[in-house]
Amino acid sequence: MRLRLPEERPAEPPTGYKIAHPVLSQDGTRAGFTGVSLGGALPYGVVADASCVYGLRHRAPHRRCDCGFHCVHDRTVAEALLCTAEHRTAVLLEVSVLGRYLRFELGFRYARQRVRTATVGPCACGTVAAALADAGWGRPGWRGLAPSCAGCLRGRTSVSLAGFARLAGEGLRVVAGSGAAVADLQADGLGVSELTAEAALLQARLDWFQTQLARLGERGHGEGDGPGAP
């Protein structure tokens, strides 16, 4: 006879940590996440139910399968995953483990989750991120996003951190950088700091746009038929 571990009945849902890539729907109206490994093909929202990634007709997580959401107990273990080259642009998620779960030494495999906080790392240039911008990859119907500062956005499709929180909904908190209070935004209600951040992004875009226009103008001028030509 096999010894079974006692069933846990926690008063509050356990907290876990994981990393994921933020994604934006093709029409720009929905935001979510996609896993970095197993289940990476299926984007999920802030509150989501797991299904078997192998399409097996059992409830996830199943003991003899490795389906279900995965997370680790320890924040630093999840953060360590962000060091690898392919995970540099992923974000750190703090999640509530809901529904049935299997507990392991390092973490949980479970049926349902709520993403409470997404912590966005710096832009590739090292500056604190102001937005999540088209990362140049995706899934059918979804664009992968990567952290970007206002200066590196250029013409890319992007959403501000507050915009991402708003599109993802369900009270998701989006935090920029390593806990610095640069952007700590709730989906509901934009404050002065959020609006200031949005304005800075718009200004950066406008600057980029005007630089492109000026460049076209110069080219036109050289040919003698630009807007400034006599």
Name the residues that contact Zn ion, by CB under 5 A: 52, 56, 62, 65, 67, 123, 125, 127, 149, 152
Shorter beta-carbon distance to Zn ion: residue 54 or 137: 54
173-176 vs 107-120, strand pairing mode: parallel
Taking the complex as a whole, how short is the minimal distance between the CB of residue 80 and Zn ion, in angstroms? 24
Smallest separation (angstroms) from Zn ion to the CB of 155: 14
What are residue 115's DSSP bridge partners? 95
Closest CA to 87 of 46, 47, 144: 144
Tell me whether residue 42 or residue 65 sits nearer to Zn ion (CB atom).
65
Residue closer to Zn ion, measured from CB, 152 or 190: 152
Our CB check for Zn ion shows the closer of 31 and 60 to be 60
Which residue's CB is nearer to Zn ion, number 104 or number 229?
104
Q: Which are the contacts of 173, defined by CB distance < 8 A and separation ≥ 6?
A: 116, 117, 118, 165, 184, 185, 186
d(C-alpha 162, C-alpha 31), whole Å: 12
Amino acid at 103: R
Cα–Cα distance, 193 to 198 (Å, whole number): 9
Min. distance of Cβ 65 from Zn ion in angstroms? 3
CB of 129: closest distance to Zn ion in angstroms? 8
Cα distances from 166 to residues 49, 76, 185, 192, 197, in angstroms, run 21, 27, 9, 16, 14
CA distance 176 to 68: 28
* Residue whose CB is less far from Zn ion, 161 or 190: 161
Q: Give the bridge partners for 186, in sequence order.
A: 173
Least separation in angstroms between CB 74 and Zn ion: 25
Kindly state the smallest distance separating residue 208's Cβ from Zn ion, in Å: 12
Nearer to Zn ion, 65 or 167 (CB): 65
Q: How far is the CB of 22 from Zn ion (least distance, A)?
A: 16
CA 63, 69, 74 angle in degrees (round to 5)? 105
